[in-house]
Chain A
């Protein structure tokens, strides 16, 4: 079972609409949580990095929330654009001892249609 699970697996929305992507994790102890955007054929690009003490962080039309108690995060995209079509990946940093690794979710594939 993946320690970082994302939903939905894929999503189609119309241009201009809002959407929210979910990330649930079981990684513990937890250091930080990141959201990445990966365009087709490209490497991932960081959108936000949040520590356990941060509840909300925005980056333009992207707003990430984090509830460290329930181990849930969401990424909200406002007024979607065609260029938002990509895979959005949730990544959690495992802070257990010397085994500090990034645990990658499988991503949500978002398609924004005109």
Chain B
């Protein structure tokens, strides 16, 4: 298994540009999430999905859109990039969200985004 993969690894955008961060997992996990991590900070939840066609907002959803058309993929779209969105973005997946062993989240390697 490749686990959780993210592309691109690095990206530089200009203010106002849009782009999509890709995330895929091959573990047949129902639950997928996007986090952002600013320098010296913990991870903050942006959006998550509990299955194909179902998404919900996390702690910091503004400026981001998500959709989940397949179990494997969970792209994150930046609609109009702003310097405040400069961060490292991590995608994660898990078997469940209900606590216990199935709640273990597997993380991708991250996408480092800079918005000028």
The answer to whether A and B assemble together is: no
Which B residues are closer than 8 A to A by beta carbons? none
Which A residues are closer than 8 A to B by beta carbons? none
